[in-house]
Amino acid sequence: MELSFNLKKCFCAVLLIVMTATSAMAQGGIKGKILDADGLPLIGAAVMIKGTTTGTVADIDGNYTVNAKPGQTIEISCIGFKTQSILVGDAAVYDVQMEPDAAFLEEVVVVGYDTQKKVNLTGSVASVSTADFDTKPVIQVSTALQGMAAGVTVTTPGGEPGADGGNIRIRGIGSFGGSDCSPLVLIDGVEGNMDQLDATQIEQISVLKDAASASIYGNRAANGVILITTKRGSEGKGRVTYRGYVGWQNPVVYPSVATAEEYMKMSRQASDNDGATSIFTDEYQAEYLRNNYLDPDAYPITDWQKRLMTGDGFTHNHDLSLSAGNDKFKVATSLGYVSQNGIIANSNYQRINLRNNMDVKVAKRLTLRLDLSGNYQIKNTNPYQSNIFAFMNSKDPLMLAQWSDGSYAPFTGGTVNPLPMVEQNQGGINRNNILNVKGNIALEYKPWKWLALEVSAAPRWQLNKSHQFRDIVYYHSDPYGTVSPITSREYNYLKESWATTYNGFYQFLARLNFKWKGGHDFKAILGASYEDYDYQNNMAYRQDYDYPEYQVINAGGDNEFKDNGGTRTQRALGSFFGRVNYNYKERYLIEGNIRVDGSSRFTEKNRWGVFPSVSGAWRITEENWMKPVKNTLTELKIRASYGTLGNQNIGSSNYPTAQNLTLSSISANNIIYPIATLNTLANENITWETTKMADFGVDFALWNKLSFTGDVYYKKTEGILMQLDIPSTIGLGAPYQNAGVVTNLGWELAANYRDQFGDFTLGVSANVSDVYNKIVDMQGKYATSGAIRNQEGSSINSLYLVKCLGIIQSQEQADWINANQPQYGQISQPGDLWYEDYNKDGKVDENDKQIVGCLIPRYSYGINLDFGWKGLVLTAQFQGVGKADGYMSGAYIQPCVSGGTFRSEHMDNWTPENTGARFPRLSYASDLNKKASTFWMADASYFRLKFLQLSYSLPKKWMDAIKIGGIKFFANATNLFTLTNYYQGYDPENMYQGGEDGATTGSIGSNYPLVSTYTFGLEINF
């Protein structure tokens, strides 16, 4: 009782200050006392006169006085209780007893093959409602999860239309060497691609994070499970909704490349440092800049970014949905269309979505569920698009782009001018057409109240057509129209491919539910499923097209260069699974799961695996001795779980136990004989990776409005595929074996608060998570790829670089280094970088590299805010990561690379007069300063305003007058600003490539930039 009083007193003191700052305190009028369900005073309960800003709060005894007149309505609200309205009459006293608001306790979330009340969960499950993103400008649903759930890290590799989906990692990365670390995604119980959905079709998303909640999905659940349920019809009046928006996109950031004047100055500096003579004298620079206006053909200056990023970025999205139903028939139908243009001209993406979910009560105990959905996607890109961003971020401004007569100039050294492809749509086209058709039919029969039997079938079919035409682009070597011998390629060609994918899903479920007197509740699910997968691909290739406008295979040259081919892949998965739940008075909760999977990806002796889990929870607030504080501490639960998960998506092959034969030919006696060879040993003992996870969590809530959840977990993945050493006398490459071990140790914390104060609404949610990843066992081996290294004792995707100690500041310091630890066999000079002799062998070379960081962020977090007043709502979402490292090299960040590229920031380079410079001395001749070192690392942590929306719903009385359910206007913006210490001009999120192992460096300077989106929309309900 004392605890309840003190908590209420602290909170209500704050509330009292807020209310008195915004409300006019009443003197006289009516009065009364506000009590809770147990007759205790509700300190700080808000009393407002409806339609005004006049109000007050209850005092320490629950008493209130407000200047309300007869005929007015007062509204009484308090956290954790239902708002009550009272029409004022002639009486002077109005006492009120408030009813608890049990909405929090009754919240239901989707779990494996069922739903559960959130308060009764024993595992770690995060739930995201469609209300959290249904008016966001979301084209790829995967990006909508960013910052929304603790332990879920989403990174967007870029803003390319149709390819701007997020890479999702749940509780870190648990594998390396080519295994897929993506979560299993199930849409209405069937595996699918969430980015093929329209966001407005989604009802709820559940993220199963621990083994207890995910193990019922067996050998596909090691990386977590995402369950998506789509909207269904309901009983009542039919409803039609239109929701649409239009807007545009801009790059979030792009590099500040050197101007022509800056380029010439730095190029001269580099030549001077090398003891060479530069043409860029002061007189030449002045003459060049002056003559650019007189003769731009001979003295060109080109802003490559301005010339190449000419796409309008226009985007629009429209969705029309219908929902209707009665006690026999319910239907929800939606039709959506999205169009997205790129910031590069001639690149765009379009998608049409259609979904129809139907529920039919065939008989008293028999229900039919029939869902049909499909989408059609068209993606067009410039065939040279992948090179455009690399080009504009690395080429100097003195290169001629276009002659004064409008013709395009060529380049040498293996580089071609991309401007005719962008500005004139020359060079061909890449077009992808994807058609998806899905069905889901299920019959549920309830012979008794305690038993439900369900059988379902869900076929899925996809057709993917790729059309790649590369045409010859001609350039001019002078402004008189002389055709240059340099073209984009020596011939044109067409490559077309057709791929069909069929997935069959068949399932049987039995759900049992028994309840006994005394509060005993027993539930069980038993099921079996079978899934098959059939993929076929056919390809045709022709080159030498005399009529490039006629882009069909038969129009190409009938010569020795033509080609065709095809492949086929099949696999199947058979499963048996079950779950048992025991609930005693919603106080003691126990759950057990088991799944037995048989996968065709492995040989018969290793085909079947068993994946069990157990979890339990104690809802302390349901104990009788907790009743005195139940109105304040409405929920307190501790839970624990342990289980085993699997990952069958290992390696790069559908059949990891087998090795492909290498097909070739040999000539003997003027006869060509085909041959087939085996270059690598196969291993029939390969099986899936196994992940074991333990989780401990706490959930609690105050006043049914303020909730917290926290988890700590330990995750260990074993059986990661590796190639271990074998005797060289075998003569074949080493086979893959289940050998590697990785652990993840982490914690998560999430908080949520939501309430209403008269006409004001407030919602705040925040989450933060930390995961520490470590490779425990690689059998003494390591794997290095460029700047990335995986080795025992370090995290996956660690950075492996030479440590930079700073910039050499004097000749004496340079002489000491050259005498005691020469660097890479070169002469170090003042202004060069000074590296650490890590292995202490008296020299610096590649053997001095060490683990210095990790590309995978340790921390991820999100903050979501919404403020409402009457029909006006302001929503903001912040998101970011912490303790993450980035690494870039080459022309994208380093000076004097690729023929002398510079950025504006390179002006701050070391000279005897500028010893505190940001960058080392400039040099073409020496590559000492371009080594893979920590100098070129950057902090990839960031804090971002991810989403901002202002919406306004027209007053209900206006809508009633014109017989419309509602009209809402909204304006959105995404990626508005970012706080980071990352490289100038590059986005820290854009560094992630989303490969199978997670983040890799790659050619990140050539990535399609992340974009900011600005949209204006309308929602109408009929």
The whole-angstrom separation of Cα 199 and Cα 184 is: 18
Instruction: Indicate whether 819 pLDDT > 90.
Output: yes
| Prediction pTM value | 0.87
Q: What are phi and psi of 261, to 5 degrees?
A: -65, -45
pLDDT digit string, tens, across residues 663-680: 777 888 888 888 888 888
| DSSP sequence for 542-558 | EE--SSTT--SGGGS--
| DSSP sequence for 639-656 | EEEEEEEEE---SSSS-T
Map residue 177 onto helix, strand or coil.
Answer: coil
pLDDT digit string, tens, across residues 933-972: 999 999 999 999 999 999 999 988 888 888 888 999 999 9
Give the lowest-confidence range in 96-110, 771-785, 823-837: 96-110
> Which of the pair, 27 or 390, is modelled with greater confidence?
390
- The predicted structure's pLDDT at residue 609: 93
- The predicted structure's pLDDT at residue 102: 56
pLDDT digit string, tens, across residues 14-55: 334 333 333 333 344 888 998 877 677 777 678 888 877 778
pLDDT digit string, tens, across residues 296-323: 999 999 999 899 988 999 999 999 999 9
Q: CB-based contacts of 1006: which residues, under 8 Å, 6+ apart?
A: 386, 387, 389, 390, 393, 892
pLDDT digit string, tens, across residues 165-217: 888 999 998 888 778 888 999 999 999 999 988 888 999 999 999 999 999 99
Beta bridge partners of 687: none
The three state secondary structure string of 431-493 is EEEEEEEEEEEEEEEEEECCEEEEEEECCEEEEEEEEEEECCCEEECCCCCCEEEEECCCCCE
- In the chain, the percentage of residues whose pLDDT exceeds 90 is 55
- The predicted structure's pLDDT at residue 106: 66
Locate 875 and state its tokens.
């929503």
Q: Rounded to 10 degrees, what is the CA torsion of 118, 121, 126, 128?
A: -30
Determine contact, residues 43/65, Cβ cutoff 8 Å.
no
* Amino acid (one-letter) located at 513: N
Map residue 735 onto helix, strand or coil.
Answer: coil
Averaging pLDDT over each range in 707-721, 782-796, 877-891, which range is the top one?
707-721
Determine contact, residues 546/559, Cβ cutoff 8 Å.
no
Where is 266: in which H helix or E strand?
Answer: helix 260-273
Instruction: Indicate whether 80 pLDDT > 70.
Output: no
What is the rounded average pLDDT of the residues 387-415? 84
The three state secondary structure string of 831-867 is CCEEECCCCCCCCECHHHCEEEEECCCCEEEEEEEEE
pLDDT digit string, tens, across residues 803-818: 999 999 999 999 999 9
Locate 809 and state its tokens.
């500041």
The whole-angstrom separation of Cα 243 and Cα 6 is: 47
Mean pLDDT of the chain: 88
**739, 710, 929: which is closest to 210 by C-alpha?**
710
| DSSP sequence for 885-909 | EEE--GGGTSTTBTTTB-BGGGGSB
- Characterize the bridge pairing of strands 30-35 and 96-97: parallel
Determine contact, residues 240/320, Cβ cutoff 8 Å.
yes
Determine contact, residues 170/1007, Cβ cutoff 8 Å.
no
The whole-angstrom separation of Cα 605 and Cα 579 is: 26
